[in-house]
Amino acid sequence: MAAAVCAAGWLTMTELEAQAQTGTVEVTSLHGKSLEGNLSGDPADRDVTVYLPPSYGREKSRRYPV
């Protein structure tokens, strides 16, 4: 397994995964108007999984890159 580097030193993947589990995962459905009636017959509605960091709900004015 690969290891990640941080200012304090090396973190194993297990330690990194434990730190990464503090946010929220939400599943929402989006409608793609451009997908309506596509030749493949794929649905225009898609489920999208979004990870929200722990600070997302607390810092209302903060911008998060996509």
Mean pLDDT of each 10-residue bin along the chain, 66 residues long: 53 64 88 95 95 88 88
- pLDDT, residue 15, reads 66
CB–CB of 51/25 below 8 Å? yes
Cα 21 from Cα 57, distance rounded (Å): 16
CB 4 within 8 A of CB 19: no
Range list of H helices, 1-66:
13-20
Question: So what's the pLDDT on residue 60?
Answer: 87
Do the domain assignments include residue 29? yes
Query: The pTM is what?
Result: 0.51
In a domain, 3, yes or no: no
What is the distance between the alpha carbons of residues 19 and 33, in angstroms, rounded to a whole number? 38
What's the domain count of the chain? 1
Tell me whether residue 35 is in a domain.
yes
- The predicted pLDDT at position 21 comes to 57
End-to-end CA distance of the chain: 27
The pLDDT value given to residue 30: 95
